[in-house]
């Protein structure tokens, strides 16, 4: 039995378990906490908002990245934060004594680059080893990067920029986003937003791959996730799973066939 056949057998077992409701309790997903020792942790709120709008949680100047033994990728564009212009003035108080005071006279732009636009030594919030099937993401032409968790999403996939961004080291979350990418390769551009059918396809795929590759798959999390979207789909969890099971099989084939090709090339 090859990996694709094993995956489909595993998928059917998961759907049967979901149908029966015989699922362990969902485990909390460990997220990447805010990093106190990166430069942006000391920035003003307005500059951190600019960083958020640039879709990153770690940005630094060119030389700051050099000190971290990382290089800015060729062609990367900086975004700007604001630094204060200041000067010292002397003021005389009511007693006639002079005192020196620093005043802000304006602001200047400081170019910074996102962590996602650099290469080099691992960052402290990146996993020690890449997740299983990371080579499949690379073959799909995707970049995979990590950010501190700052929203209600554990990760996301952007088809336009061909990247996966993760706020956790949990491999099951990576599999979910990889599934979105594989789904798009099969059917063309997906509909933007949290479309119930697309989310169920991605999570069933992730649950199946987690059963195959992870020692502690969080099946309870997948059940809760799929059940929530099944309700938005106005279907029972069984009917929602059966409605997309053929598509999930194709997505699994796309991922596992690519994994096999990469493995054969390396061998």
Tens-digit pLDDT profile for residues 146-193 = 988 766 789 999 999 899 999 999 999 999 999 999 999 999 888 888
Q: Are 15 and 48 found together in one domain?
A: no
The tokens describing 2, both together, are: 């090859």
Q: Are 91 and 150 found together in one domain?
A: no
Q: Are 153 and 212 found together in one domain?
A: yes
Q: Are 85 and 154 found together in one domain?
A: no
Q: Are 26 and 43 found together in one domain?
A: no
Structural domain including 45 reads: 39-116
pTM over 0.95? The answer is no
End-of-domain residue from the set 85, 116, 147: 116
Contact status, residue 172 vs residue 226, Cβ threshold 8 Å: no
End-of-domain residue from the set 56, 84, 116: 116
- Report the domain count for the chain: 2
CA–CA gap between residue 61 and residue 17 (Å, rounded)? 51
Nearest Cα residue to 125 out of 141, 148, 159, 102: 148
SS3 readout for 224-261: HHHHHHHHHCCCCHHHHHHHHHHHHHHHHHHHHHHHHH
Nearest Cα residue to 110 out of 40, 161, 167, 52: 40
Q: Is 222 helix (H, G, I), strand (E, B) or coil?
A: helix
Q: Are 207 and 132 found together in one domain?
A: yes
Q: Give the CA distances from residue 54 to residues 51, 117, 141, 152, in Å, rounded to whole numbers and listed in that order.
A: 5, 12, 22, 18
Q: Are 136 and 242 found together in one domain?
A: yes
Q: Are 90 and 49 found together in one domain?
A: yes
Q: Are 81 and 129 found together in one domain?
A: no
CA–CA gap between residue 229 and residue 236 (Å, rounded)? 10
Tens-digit pLDDT profile for residues 187-236 = 988 888 889 999 999 999 999 999 999 877 788 899 999 999 999 888 88
Q: Are 192 and 230 found together in one domain?
A: yes
CA–CA gap between residue 237 and residue 228 (Å, rounded)? 9
Q: Are 112 and 243 found together in one domain?
A: no
Q: Are 47 and 28 found together in one domain?
A: no
């Amino acid at each position: 039995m090859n990996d694709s056949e094993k995956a489909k057998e595993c998928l059917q077992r998961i759907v049967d378990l979901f149908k029966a409701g015989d699922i362990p309790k969902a485990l909390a997903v460990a997220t990447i906490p805010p990093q106190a020792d990166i430069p942006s942790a000391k920035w003003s709120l307005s500059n951190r908002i600019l960083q958020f709008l640039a879709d990153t949680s770690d940005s630094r100047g060119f030389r700051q990245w050099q000190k971290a033994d990382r290089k800015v990728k060729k062609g990367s564009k900086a975004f700007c934060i604001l630094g204060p212009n200041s000067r010292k003035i002397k003021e005389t108080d009511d007693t006639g004594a002079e005192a020196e005071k620093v005043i802000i006279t304006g602001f200047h732009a400081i170019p910074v680059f996102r962590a996602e636009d650099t290469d080099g030594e691992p960052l402290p919030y990146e996993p020690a080893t890449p997740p299983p099937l990371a080579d499949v993401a690379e073959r799909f032409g995707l970049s995979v990067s990590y950010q501190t968790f700052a929203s209600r999403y554990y990760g996301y996939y952007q088809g336009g920029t061909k990247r996966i961004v993760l706020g956790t080291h949990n491999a099951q979350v990576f599999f979910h986003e990889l599934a979105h990418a594989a789904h798009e390769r099969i059917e063309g551009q997906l509909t933007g937003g949290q479309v119930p059918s697309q989310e169920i396809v991605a999570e069933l795929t992730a649950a199946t791959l987690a059963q195959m590759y992870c020692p502690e798959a969080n099946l309870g999390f997948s059940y809760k996730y799929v059940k929530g979207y099944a309700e938005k789909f106005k279907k029972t969890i069984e009917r929602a799973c059966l409605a997309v099971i053929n598509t999930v099989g194709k997505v699994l084939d796309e991922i596992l066939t690519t994994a096999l090709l990469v493995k054969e090339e390396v061998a």
